[in-house]
Amino acid sequence: MLRTLRYLGGACGLAGGDFPAACGLSRGRPWLLRRVCRCGRSASTSSFDVVIVGGGIVGLASARALIQRHSALSLGLLEKEKDLALHQTGHNSGVIHSGIYYKPASLKAKLCVQGAALIYEYCSKKGISYKQCGKGLMAIDCPYTGIVDYRQVALSFAQDFQDAGGSVLTNFEVKDIEMAKESPSGSQDGMKYPIVIRNTKGKEIRCQYVVTCAGLYSDRISEMSGCSPEPRIVPFRGDYLLLKPEKCYLVKGNIYPVPDSRFPFLGVHFTPRMDGSIWLGPNAVLAFKREGYKPFDFSARDVMDIIINSGLVKLVVENFSYGVNEMYKACFLGATVRYLQKFIPEITVSDILRGPAGVRAQALDRDGNLVEDFVFDGGVGDIGSRILHVRNAPSPAATSSLAISGMIADEVQQRFEL
């Protein structure tokens, strides 16, 4: 307990991981991935008491919390990708947040502080290692800040979930969520498991209740179930730069600027990773595809959805100069380097390389307001009363994952009377 309180008090202010790692860039343990994923069940129809949609860190943490609390229930988790946590938050090796960057009364701040202590404790028990400088006018020194491979943490959640009897189904991209029209011949599934979740390949899963943690697709999954699509998700790409190996000695710890309070983005920062590399960034530019990790990734459907259904136009008009500045820094390395030199003057353009990118699932309302806090809701009607949507779980969702999962488990228990 003393150690937990020490971490809670000491891990102040280094809020890492604005953007998830690009698919395929994560360095988790492949054997663990293969072990936890039960792909391609032979049965055409499976039934569960509760189904969790989404195999990211929030979905996996929630599945773990639910099965530990309700061991008598059958639980299944659905993930559209072939493996879990491929779009992982916290740019994979992320900084444990503490809540100092967020509004004191917000769920972000409260859950972040709780989550930081829980993640430290969880990593210690699991044997997952974490690691504990620059110039400026003033700084807050946080000696107990940790660097964590959040994908490894997510896969560990998946292992706990399956060890407790949960089922993970990958390659299951949800296409429809509807009430069962009739019971299959010779079964009672239509009565006991009234919700049908169908994937793009025609396979069906039946269940009593649904919890969705769909990230970039949370608004579409909600609309698919007959619930409100608001707030809409607008993808923002965050590009990272890499410090050349021979220059990594310049950065001895995490360095974060004071963020612009008008936006939920944390600004360009210095992040040491578990493999010893140093990431510089990210910026924040509009992505033209929900999984648009590359500058020229484009989806006509995603672009039209953003323009027509969200408040993006109002956001752009009101923050035009900010957006232009971010685009300028994305195109010209010198502009970003000049900003980095405020913290480490020795860095030059020749010391950096272009690195990977991540995409942030940013919720935006119709008035053009960036939704900064966590949003959980359900709906009305037959399906709406049996479903809980995690609509917005941005940074610091990775740090807060255990705290968020406890809140989701409480909400599920209350909402569904389990």
Specify the pTM: 0.83
In terms of Cα–Cα distance, which of 37, 33, 67 is closest to 50?
Answer: 67
Q: Spell out the residues 6+ positions from residue 137 whose beta carbon is closer than 8 angstroms to its own.
A: none
In terms of Cα–Cα distance, which of 174, 216, 178, 208 is closest to 391?
Answer: 216
Pairing of strands 195-199, 174-179: antiparallel
Specify the pLDDT at position 25.
Answer: 36
Specify the pLDDT at position 185.
Answer: 53
d(CA 83, CA 251): 33
d(CA 301, CA 322): 26
d(CA 49, CA 413): 13
CA neighbours within 13 Å on the CB side: how many for 247? 18
Give me the residues paired with residue 198 across strands: 176, 204
CB 306 within 8 A of CB 319: no
d(CA 76, CA 204): 12
CB 115 within 8 A of CB 400: yes
CB 289 within 8 A of CB 300: no
Specify the pLDDT at position 298.
Answer: 97
Give me the residues paired with residue 286 across strands: 236
Task: Enumerate domains of the chain plus CATH numbers.
Answer: 44-231+371-417 (3.50.50.60), 233-368 (3.30.9)
d(CA 225, CA 221): 6
- SS3 at position 158: helix
Per-residue pLDDT of the chain (418 residues; tens, 9 = 90+): 333 323 223 333 223 334 433 333 333 333 344 444 444 343 445 899 999 999 999 999 999 999 999 999 999 999 999 999 998 654 444 555 555 556 666 776 677 667 666 766 777 777 665 554 556 666 767 766 677 888 889 999 999 999 999 999 999 999 999 999 865 554 555 578 999 999 999 999 999 999 999 999 999 999 999 999 999 999 999 899 999 999 999 998 888 887 676 776 777 889 888 888 999 988 889 999 999 999 999 999 999 999 998 899 999 888 888 889 889 988 999 999 999 998 999 999 999 999 999 898 999 998 998 888 888 888 877 899 999 999 888 777 888 889 899 999 999 999 999 8
Specify the pLDDT at position 382.
Answer: 85
CB 175 within 8 A of CB 200: yes
Specify the pLDDT at position 144.
Answer: 63
The distance between the two most distant Cα atoms of the chain, rounded to a whole number of Å, is 74
